[in-house]
Chains A and B, each alone.
Chain A
Amino acid sequence: MSIELVNVCKSFDSNEVLKGLSLTINDGQTTTIVGASGSGKSVALKHIVGLLRPDRGDVWVDEHNVSRLDQDSLYRLRRNIGYVFQFAALFDSMTIGENVGMGLRRMPELEEDEIRQRVSECLALVELSGYEDRLPSQLSGGQRKRAGLARAIATRPKYILYDEPTTGLDPVTTAVIDEMIVRMSEELGVTGVIISHDMKSAFRISDRVAMLYEGMIRIDGTPDEVRASDDPIVKGFIQGIPELMGAKS
């Protein structure tokens, strides 16, 4: 049981974004994908839930080839996956409570009370207690992002894909979210895939770190291995020294 991307290629018109990306994400681990803006991190993540289909290559989740699944099986598989969108993607015609409860309402075994209970628990986890009846438009960008996070974790999925969960949040909230991600992994055994630009927290909370560069995985290892890499591209990226990267490419 794991997530595996094998030689995934994807282009939009003439823009080749992924050029043979291969990455294995082990169960129970938290993997952070880093990479420059526009390098295709979000695109890679969307392949895992089948929002995008690879032009070539395969995406395996729980032994299922995502790009070959029929619609019903795909939706069944998705119930095991939570997805935190980079820009929250809250349903703006619904209240925050309804947004968070969306996934739960697809679970017939849950009573209305339990749903309400779970919604407020999840909102508490992201420090949004009491926001159930607000509309997304009444929230700040950071609050929306946290509400999106709450929506993704509400169904207690086996996998959670975080697209920049902490970007744009203040340091204290960032720490809270990081803490939450770690707890999800340790207490509930959730497998996490995080896209992050925050190298410090990436190294702190991840079991593995992978770097996406020019459509492929440049490095994939434990935080220590990545930190120790002497690949100038990797070094330049994690230390924030563009000259190093430019020299090589």
Chain B
Amino acid sequence: MAAITTHVEAVGQAAIRSVSSVGRAGFLGIDAVRALRKVELWGPHLIPQLARVGVESVPIALFIATFTGIVLSLQASYTFTGAVPLYFVGTLVGKTMILELGPVLTGLALSGRVGANIAAEIGTMRVTDQIDALETLAYDPVAYLVVPRVLAGAIMFPLVVILANAIGILAGWGASLVLLDLSSPEFLKGLKLFFLPFDVRFSFIKSITFGVTVTAVGCYFGFHTRGGAEGVGHATTRAVVIASMIILVLDAFWAAVLLR
């Protein structure tokens, strides 16, 4: 009986915890929107954050995209086994890269790179009272820390993803020229065959939400870090795990909403 009570309590506590963390995230979101008007606080930090979230993520994103593109083209040709015309390799590489793998793989990689980084940074500031220090110096920490990071995520993420898409397609093209018996005009024919400008918009919209997710989740876990270095480590891990999960859910959400 006691054991059952404990389990029930545990479920109740977990429920309260998750509801309250959703609530806290909501408050942080409202604060962040309100903090948008304090341009003097976040403005000066936008460029460094753009550089950090965007520029410094370009190499890893392009690295991932390159190999994804190569694998896609090889897998496509393997699957078609000579029955479907080989130029469909171009279609598959282009569509898959732009619609799915470009945004999602970049999102997952950057949740590790950017999200963890932000969570660790803000978490350390939290446990060493630096966030309180900002408060006492009349700096709104949400405007000062959260807004530039999330904005940078929303702005730079889609741009990084576009570059990743392009590199992925180029890599797939190169691979099909070198490793498969496919000519450039054929690859391009396949690439253009079912291409819609909407695909690029879809990729763009998706990446904006991924960028906001990764940075906002990093900020959230950083802000609510407790308990020293261990707490920072915990916050970092949670930020990566939760951001990745949200990215995958959002991915399905956008597919369901925008791809009919």
Contact = CB atoms under 8 A, between A and B. Distances in A.
A43 to B, nearest CB: 12
Contacts of B130: 89-92
Interface residues of A, number: 25
Interface string A69-109: 00100011011011101110111100000000011001000
Interface stretch (B137-145, B175-183, B244-252): B137-145
B135 interface: yes
A79 B140 contact: no
Given A49-B135, A51-B135, A78-B135, A87 B129 contact: yes
Interface size class for chain B? 10 to 19
Contacts of A151: 133, 137
A46 interface: yes
B128 interface: yes
B138 A71 contact: no
B132 A103 contact: no
B138 A87 contact: no
Interface string B129-163: 11011111111100000000000000000000000
B135 A87 contact: no
Interface string A155-172: 100000000000000000
B136 A49 contact: yes
B21 to A, nearest CB: 15
Interface in A36-58: 46, 49-51
Nearest to B31: A71
Given A46-B132, A91-B133, A151-B133, 13 more contacts: A71-B34, A71-B140, A76-B138, A78-B135, A78-B138, A85-B133, A86-B129, A89-B129, A89-B133, A91-B134, A92-B124, A106-B137, A155-B137
Interface of B: 34, 124-125, 128-130, 132-140
Interface of A: 46, 49-51, 71, 75-76, 78-79, 81-83, 85-87, 89-92, 102-103, 106, 151-152, 155
